[in-house]
Structures are given as structure tokens and as C-alpha cells.
């Protein structure tokens, strides 16, 4: 259990704002790099497929960094851990802005990804500790709102900066946002004490829990559909919908609006019925992704489909809350691993979507690829529910 310091009053609203600011910085960096790809590939003298490895390097950093930093930071107060994570994120993005070559850029993006998962995991736990148990999902959603709003404001702004003054400025702005987050957390977050007995071995206990792995698999597979479409939406608009490139930031912002509304709405529903909400979101996502496949030829239907796909992103806060229920006393590692799973989806979805495009099925084929991934996530959720029920029956029989 976390104990708050009595030295100064806690203002939960300001704490949530500080944590959401970090989400805004991370979300801008994660999603904007996809739209900045044409600019930094030209700037570094590499082709687009090679530049795509920069995106993968960041995702790899998240996958590696989330469990590693969560375990190493288990004995630190959450406030201090969050400040340190944001300081590293600020430094790594500042270095990305100065990267002289492609290989240095790969390294700096990997470093930038390391704090990502641990930050969201620890921030979600801190936010949940400030509210009653029946408001946990909504507290997590407020942290993630920073990320979703980044897709509305931060990503289009970074895209505009890349076009107007150069891609390096976009990473520089992210560095400033991250540094600002560290200062806000230092000023407003409560100084907590780690739970008695907290440490790396206790956190590693999460890896022994079957329900943790099943919940992570729902995100790793089910979220892949959203990324399969989002990664290629700009190319689809240009090659299939045949609209001006100036409309791309607008459609990306529409996606962000859907993501924000879906995040808040899903959290409200999850605090009342968590598993049904998760199942409903996966069915919603599958339908929305199929609609994208069918409607990509017209800008109105494509925009509506992108909005609906974004709404399905509310699954993030739902699964984060589910992990709090099944992780036992290994909360930090389980919460951080959620974002490793999220970034595995970020690698899986675009890879499978790219295979479909390369096989000649067309740019819009990412929609049905995404729908299959969403249904795969639903299957994993069903397995998790059945496993939970089997375990409950076994315990009752003892």
C-alpha cells in the first residue's frame, strides 16, 4: 500500500494534469514520428523502408524498457521514479533532434522508448491510488488522455513543424514537454513510500501469473488492428481516396478525437462492468476496421471509419485496470508490461498490414487485417475469462 506524505496538501487535479502532460509528450513522440518519416528519411539520406526501422527501434525500446525499469525501480517512490523517467525521455528526444546520422537516430529513438512503458505504468498506479476503487479506470483514462489529446494537437503540430521548419524541431518540442512534465510532477505529485517488502523479486512474481499473460496478449493482438490502419492511413488517403496531402493532418486529428472520446467513455463503462466493456470494444474495433476497408475510397466514409477506429482505442485504460486486478502485489511490472504489449501491437499490426499491401491486396486491406487482429484479441479475452472461471471453480471445490 502506498502512503502519502503529510508535508503538503495533495491536489489530485494538478497531479492528474502533470501525469497527463507526460502522456502528451510521449504520445506526440510515438505517433508523430510516423508522419515525420518522409522528412527525417530525406534529412538523413535514407529511403522510407529504412527509415521505418526508426519507428521499430522506439517500439523495441518500450518493450525492453518497460519491464526492466519497472523491476529496477520497484524500491523507489513513484514520484521520484516518474521524475527520473521523464528526465531520460527529455534527454533522449533532445538527442534525437540532434542526430547526425541514421544509426545515431536509431540509437536515440531506442533510448527514447525505454521510459515509455514504465512511465505510463507507474503514472497509472499513482493516479489510481488517489481515487476510490470504483473510479480507477477513469483515473487511468485521465492519464492516458494526455496521449489521446496528443493525437489531436501534438501530432498535427509536429507534422506541421516537420513541413515548415524541419523535423528536428518536432523532437526538440517533445524534449521541452518532457522536461516540463518532470517539473510538474516534482511540484504536485505526493511523495509516497514503497510498499513494505517491495523489490525486484516481488515484481517478477507477476510473470508467474497466467491471468497477467492472458491480459497482455489481449492488448498485444487486439490493439494491432488499430496500428495496422493508422500506420498506412496517409498513404491510403493519397493512393486510394485521392485527396490532397493537406487533409492528412485533419484526418489524423479526427482519429485523435475518437481516441479521446473512446478512452473516457470506455473508462466510465469499465468502472461498472470491466470484462463486458473490453469485449464490446474489441467487437466495435473489428466492425470499425471492416468499415474502413469498405469505405476507404471516399473521404467522408474514410474519416468516419477513422473516428470509429479511434474510439476502439479506449481498450487501453480497460486492460490497464484489469491488470491491477490480476497482478496481486506485482503491480508496477504488470502495469508497465501493458505498454510493452501495446508496442508489440504497434509492431505486429503494421507488419501484417504491410504484408497484405505487398501481396497486392491494396492499401485499404489493412482494414480487414486489423479486423482479424481485433477478433484475435477477443478470442484471447474469452480464454482469459474461461481460465478465470475454471480457477474459481477449482478453488471453490477445495
DSSP string, 143-201: HHHHHHHIIIIIHHHHHHHHHHT-HHHHHHHHHHHHHHHHHHHHHHS---BPPTT-SHH
**What pLDDT, on a 0 to 100 scale, did the predictor assign at position 398?**
65
**Rounded-to-integer distance, Cα 69 and Cα 66, Å:** 6
**What pLDDT, on a 0 to 100 scale, did the predictor assign at position 199?**
59
**Rounded-to-integer distance, Cα 323 and Cα 379, Å:** 18
Across the 398 residues of the chain, what is the mean pLDDT of every consecutive 10-residue run?
48 88 91 78 81 82 85 83 95 94 93 91 88 88 89 82 86 94 93 66 71 92 90 87 86 90 92 94 97 94 95 91 82 81 85 89 92 96 91 74
Domains (range + CATH), the chain: 12-397 (1.20.1250.20)
**What pLDDT, on a 0 to 100 scale, did the predictor assign at position 7?**
47
Q: Answer whether 225's CB lies under 8 Å from 356's CB.
A: no
Q: Is the pTM of this model over 0.85?
A: no
**Rounded-to-integer distance, Cα 210 and Cα 223, Å:** 20
**What pLDDT, on a 0 to 100 scale, did the predictor assign at position 202?**
66
The partner residues of 3 in beta bridges, in order of sequence, read 193
Q: Give the list of residues 6+ apart from residue 264 with CB closer than 8 angstroms, or none.
A: 138, 141, 145, 314
Dmax over CA atoms of the chain, in Å, equals 68
Amino acid at each position: 500500500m502506498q502512503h502519502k506524505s503529510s508535508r503538503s496538501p495533495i491536489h489530485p487535479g494538478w497531479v492528474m494534469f502533470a501525469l497527463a502532460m507526460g502522456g502528451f509528450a510521449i504520445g506526440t513522440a510515438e505517433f508523430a514520428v510516423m508522419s515525420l518519416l518522409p522528412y527525417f528519411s530525406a534529412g538523413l539520406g535514407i529511403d522510407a523502408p529504412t527509415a521505418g526501422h526508426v519507428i521499430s527501434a522506439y517500439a523495441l525500446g518500450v518493450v525492453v524498457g518497460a519491464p526492466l525499469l519497472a523491476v529496477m525501480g520497484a524500491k523507489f517512490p513513484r514520484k521520484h521514479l516518474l521524475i527520473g523517467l521523464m528526465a531520460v525521455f527529455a534527454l533522449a528526444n533532445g538527442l534525437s533532434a540532434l542526430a547526425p546520422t541514421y544509426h545515431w537516430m536509431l540509437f536515440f529513438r531506442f533510448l527514447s522508448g525505454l521510459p515509455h512503458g514504465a512511465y505510463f505504468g507507474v503514472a497509472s498506479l499513482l493516479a489510481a491510488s488517489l481515487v476510490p476503487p470504483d473510479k480507477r479506470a477513469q483515473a487511468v483514462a485521465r492519464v492516458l488522455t494526455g496521449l489521446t489529446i496528443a493525437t489531436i494537437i501534438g501530432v498535427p503540430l509536429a507534422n506541421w513543424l516537420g513541413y515548415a521548419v524541419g523535423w528536428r524541431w518536432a523532437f526538440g518540442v517533445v524534449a521541452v514537454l518532457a522536461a516540463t512534465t518532470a517539473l510538474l510532477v516534482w511540484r504536485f505529485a505526493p511523495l509516497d513510500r514503497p510498499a513494505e517488502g517491495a523489490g525486484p523479486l516481488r515484481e517478477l512474481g507477476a510473470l508467474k501469473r497466467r491471468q497477467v499473460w492472458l491480459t497482455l496478449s489481449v492488448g498485444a493482438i487486439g490493439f494491432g488492428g488499430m496500428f495496422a490502419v493508422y500506420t498506412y492511413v496517409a498513404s491510403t488517403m493519397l493512393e486510394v481516396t485521392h485527396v490532397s496531402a493537406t487533409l492528412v493532418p485533419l484526418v489524423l486529428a479526427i482519429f485523435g478525437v475518437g481516441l479521446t472520446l473512446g478512452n473516457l467513455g470506455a473508462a466510465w463503462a469499465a468502472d461498472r462492468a470491466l470484462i463486458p466493456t473490453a469485449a464490446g470494444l474489441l467487437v466495435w474495433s473489428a466492425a470499425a476496421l471492416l468499415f474502413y476497408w469498405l469505405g476507404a475510397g471516399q473521404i467522408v466514409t474514410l474519416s468516419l471509419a477513422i473516428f470509429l477506429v479511434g474510439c476502439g482505442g479506449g481498450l487501453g485504460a480497460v486492460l490497464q485496470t484489469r491488470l491491477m486486478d490480476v497482478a496481486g502485489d506485482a503491480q508496477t511490472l504488470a502495469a508497465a508490461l501493458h505498454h510493452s504489449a501495446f508496442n508489440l501491437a504497434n509492431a505486429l499490426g503494421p507488419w501484417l498490414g504491410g504484408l497484405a499491401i505487398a501481396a497486392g491486396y491494396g492499401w485499404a486491406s489493412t482494414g480487414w487485417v486489423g479486423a482479424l487482429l481485433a477478433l484475435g484479441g477477443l478470442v484471447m479475452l474469452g480464454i482469459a475469462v474461461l481460465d478465470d472461471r475454471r480457477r474459481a471453480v477449482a478453488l471453490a471445490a477445495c
